[in-house]
């Protein structure tokens, strides 16, 4: 009971204040001319930049909602639910600082719901809808109180709508992000899949190209190493491309510089793969000293390696990887590009194999 109540109450506090006014707001066609409505006064104008930041805000909003509940609602252990007046005040306080994140999701969830329409049925003396040419009026204080009570009752009776609304919002953001990634991959396909500065493993003429951006100080990359090796061993039609993406500090940059020099000395990729595996399986932080030690252990020409490290090619290679990652929207390691799709994080062998199959035949299993 305690965990279920906490989840529902936190979701309610995150959405209730917004839903209270969203139902009473004018339709989208009316909003542009409504400078004095509840919608414009409470929500304000919509910024094009808001959509690009919603995903980053979602986790913060969930955390903030729970934090607001714990701060505003201090109930005894044997209390079934917090006081309604406390909920209402917590909603107002929370929503004042988080106006835009879940507004559209709740409107979509409630606008066409028959129960919501029934609860919000207007009195007979106001049953005639205003003409389209009549400017929408701001709700009076009694209207606001009535709507707030209706929405509170509705959400308490139908708490599942909160989860549904958040799911819709997250799905929409994921779809928008996938479209952006796909377009960025298409725009940068030549450098992603066929750069003269990349390390190529597996089948160079493979029908699917699997690109991994990695950092030698990334613990998740260390764990994901076996996923890449298993994919390459089990799929003789897979082209594997490795790109240094040193984002975890100076040591990572130093190790990546050595790695580029290793690639310059080894056109086949065999020595690079040996270096790559040993860097991830050796203990300690990756830096210049460790990378040089590994290079020496696997029998590389150290005089040539030092010379190559001082060449402009090293900086050009790393700059190319960083610019590609920025263009595609990568902000962590490991990150993958599999065909037209971007995968962020150590998602595991099965998920990566499904992405390879989708790129190859349009299905998760070919």
Distance CA 273, CA 271 (A): 5
pTM: 0.57
Q: Output the furthest CA–CA distance in the chain (Å, rounded).
A: 92
Residue with structure tokens 């089948």? 203
> Are 211 and 241 spatial neighbours (Cβ–Cβ below 8 Å)?
yes
Q: Does 170 score more than 90 pLDDT? A: no
Mean pLDDT of the chain: 75
According to the model, what pLDDT value does residue 94 have?
A: 61
Q: In sequence order, which residues have a C-beta less than 8 Å from that of residue 299 and are 6 or more positions away?
A: 271
Based on C-alpha coordinates, what's the Rg of the chain? 28
The pLDDT, as a whole number, for residue 145 is: 75
> What does residue 125 show for φ and ψ, rounded to 5 degrees?
-75, -5
Cis peptide leading into residue 334 (ω within 30°):
yes
Once rounded to an integer, what is the mean pLDDT over residues 170-187?
82
Q: pLDDT tens for residues 278-307?
A: 999 998 999 999 999 999 999 999 999 999
Confidence of residue 89 (pLDDT cuts 50, 70, 90): low
Q: Beta partners for 341?
A: 338
Least confident range of 26-35, 126-135, 257-266, 315-324 = 26-35
pLDDT at 50 over 50: no
Q: Mind listing the pLDDT tens digit for each residue in 90-147?
A: 666 666 555 555 555 565 666 666 666 665 555 444 444 444 445 555 555 566 777 7
Helix axes 2-22, 160-187, angle to 10 degrees: 70
pLDDT at 59: 53
- The secondary structure element, H or E, covering residue 279 is helix 270-281
Residue 52 reports pLDDT greater than 80: no
The pair of structure tokens assigned to 360 is 């190859």
Here the tokens at position 167 are: 């799911």
pLDDT the model gives residue 319: 96
Domains in the chain (CATH in brackets) are 2-127+137-179 (no CATH), 188-361 (3.40.30.10)
* Cα-Cα-Cα-Cα dihedral sign, residues 215, 216, 221, 227: positive
**3-class secondary structure for 206-255?**
CCEEEEEEECCCCHHHHHHHHHHHHHHHHCCCEEEEEEECCCCCHHHHHH
**Does the pLDDT of residue 208 top 70, yes or no?**
yes
């Amino acid at each position: 009971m305690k965990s279920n109540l906490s989840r529902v109450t936190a979701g309610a506090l995150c959405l209730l204040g917004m839903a209270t006014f969203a139902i009473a707001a004018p339709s989208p066609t009316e909003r542009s001319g409504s400078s004095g409505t509840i919608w414009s006064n409470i929500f304000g104008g919509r910024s094009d930049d808001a959509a690009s930041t919603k995903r980053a805000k979602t986790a913060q909003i969930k955390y903030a909602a729970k934090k607001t509940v714990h701060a505003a609602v201090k109930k005894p252990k044997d209390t079934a639910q917090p006081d309604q007046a406390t909920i209402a005040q917590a909603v107002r306080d929370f929503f004042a600082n988080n106006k835009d994140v879940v507004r559209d999701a709740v409107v979509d969830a409630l606008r066409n719901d028959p129960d919501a329409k029934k609860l919000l049925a207007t009195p007979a003396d106001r049953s005639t809808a205003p003409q389209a040419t009549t400017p929408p009026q701001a709700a009076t204080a009694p209207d606001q109180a009535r709507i707030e009570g209706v929405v509170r009752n509705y959400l308490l009776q139908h708490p599942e709508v909160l989860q549904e609304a958040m799911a819709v919002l997250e799905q929409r953001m994921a779809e928008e992000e996938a479209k952006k990634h796909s377009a960025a991959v298409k725009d940068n396909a030549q450098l992603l899949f066929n750069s003269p500065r990349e390390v190529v493993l597996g089948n160079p003429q493979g029908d699917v190209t699997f690109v991994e951006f990695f950092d030698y100080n990334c613990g998740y990359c260390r764990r994901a190493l076996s996923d890449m090796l298993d994919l390459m061993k089990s799929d003789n039609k897979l082209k594997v491309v490795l790109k240094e993406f040193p984002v975890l500090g100076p040591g990572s940059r130093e190790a990546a510089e050595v790695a580029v020099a290793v690639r310059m000395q080894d056109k086949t990729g065999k020595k690079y793969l040996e270096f790559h595996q040993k860097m991830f399986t050796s203990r300690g932080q990756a830096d210049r000293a460790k990378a040089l030690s590994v290079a020496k252990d696997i029998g590389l020409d150290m005089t040539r390696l030092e010379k190559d490290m001082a060449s402009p090619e090293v900086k050009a290679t790393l700059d190319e990887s960083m610019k590609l990652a920025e263009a595609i929207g990568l902000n962590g390691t490991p990150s993958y590009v599999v065909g037209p799709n971007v995968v962020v994080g150590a998602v595991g062998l099965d998920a990566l194999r499904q992405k390879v199959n989708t790129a190859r035949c349009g299905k998760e299993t070919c």
